[in-house]
Amino acid sequence: MNNSIIRGRVLTFKRMPNSNFDTESYTYIEDGALFIENGIISKLGSFKEVKATISEKITIYDHRPLLIVPGFIDTHLHFPQIQIIGSYAANLLEWLNTYTYIEEQKYKEPLHGEFMAKEFFNTLINYGTTTAAAFCTIHPESVEAFFTESHRRNMLMIGGKVMMDQNAPIKLLDTPKSGYDDTKMLINKWHGVGRQYYAISPRFAVTSTPLQLEMSQTLVNEHPDCYLQTHLSENKDELALVKKLYPDYKDYTGIYEHYNLLGSRSLFGHCIHLSNREVAVMSETKSVAVFCPTSNLFLGSGLFDLQHLSKQKHPVRVATATDIGGGTNCSMLKTMDEAYKVLQLQGQRLSPIESFYQITLGNACALSLENKIGTLAIESDADITILNSRATPLMKIRMQTVKSLAEELFILQTMGDDRSIAQVYIKGKPSKKTSLA
Ligand SMILES: [Zn+2]
């Protein structure tokens, strides 16, 4: 039996907050505790209450005065791209051709994938991220490496083999048939094994022929409980290229719509330049638009218009993500820092209460996993991140003037990074190493 108590200031959300002052949207307990039984949260309350119900001798992880929050969730990133973060390029297409497509070729080699998978999951944990939806490369070996390591660590992960059959170097192309066969084999092998979920992953319309999109549709029809992940409307040059490749469609979203790839388990990275029609169809189909602020700024792709997508009568479901390696930071705190700035530039506000909702329960809802992760509610998986708001000398000084929880969260979002992640629990097991060497 691996039972324990985690003690500290507990913060968990119940629903989406309406504003910075919506105290009903979350539970906050100053001297709180979680009782973890076999990786599941079985009690949540004040330390005194929780302790009083347990007679057995038990391990207590005392994190006072730090904050206990659900592990962060990153809904879009690329496993093979952690070694090309911060590669100098003018825009998306130059960045893909100059760095990404070279780097991804290395993952044909199983040993390289296995080594990098260890580094990848160490990195996620180091930054407080306990679940991610990741693209691998076109090589099934890369997916094997990804899921083998994730499963070994008992992490809840979503991943998939990229499908590309045009407009990329020949060594990175599959065919509609091999993409279908490999995906099918990987779904059968990994989807639903332990905490692993498969995402059918045509990279984007630029790199898939109509026949490959048709095969993706078949895969989605045959495996409706898998996810689908791809990219949509990121960059102006990409839009022009898509128009050239698919001239007969109303718009970019219309292509995915035609192949029935929209839906409640479909994640679309970026969604920056969507028309009103595209927003309406995304909303109707309950598709998820994934906001990747550090990537959008780095590649000069544009500003994600949250108001256009979510603050209207029929909102689009929105998630947030790092988009590593187009994104420049693995931290979901930094991601929300940049999201805040992207919205500021458009005269839109995002409160820290909403930000912390988003990277926990909000992203879990976008993945339809809110009954398992993104929350510290009883019966959920004990994937937990411990936050230190005084992790650096400057944060320590700054915290002396902070008077409310919302102010503290905003400091964490604005000034925090991996140094603010004091510990991470994966299914109740302490998992962050102080040194990753
Ligand atoms: Zn991406």
Helix (H) or strand (E) run with residue 202 in it: strand 196-202
Q: How far is the CA of 42 from the centre of ligand 1 (A)?
A: 36
Q: How far is the CA of 12 from the centre of ligand 1 (A)?
A: 29
The upper half-sphere exposure of residue 305, i.e. CA atoms within 13 Å in the direction of its Cβ, equals 11
Q: How far is the CA of 346 from the centre of ligand 1 (A)?
A: 23
Q: How confident is the model at residue 101 (pLDDT cuts 50, 70, 90)?
A: very high
Q: How far is the CA of 300 from the centre of ligand 1 (A)?
A: 14
Burial class of residue 46 (count of CB atoms within 10 Å of its CB; 0-12, 13-18, 19+) = middle
Q: CB neighbours of 206 closer than 8 A, spacing ≥ 6?
A: 166, 167, 238, 241, 242, 245
Question: What does pTM read for this prediction?
Answer: 0.97
Q: How confident is the model at residue 435 (pLDDT cuts 50, 70, 90)?
A: very low
Residues 3-54 pLDDT 10s: 999 999 999 999 999 988 999 999 999 999 999 999 999 999 999 999 999 9
Q: How far is the CA of 125 from the centre of ligand 1 (A)?
A: 20
Buried b (16+ CB within 10 A) or exposed e, 366-394: bbebbebbbbbbeebbbbbbbbbbbbeee
Q: How far is the CA of 270 from the centre of ligand 1 (A)?
A: 8
Q: How far is the CA of 52 from the centre of ligand 1 (A)?
A: 48
How many CB atoms are closer than 10 A to CB 56?
Answer: 6
Hey, which residues does 12 pair with through a beta bridge?
Answer: 27
Q: How far is the CA of 330 from the centre of ligand 1 (A)?
A: 13
Residues 322-359 pLDDT 10s: 999 999 999 999 999 999 999 999 999 999 999 999 99
DSSP string of 286-349?
T-EEEE-HHHHHHTT-----HHHHHSSSSPPEEEE---TTTSS-S-HHHHHHHHHHHHHTTT--
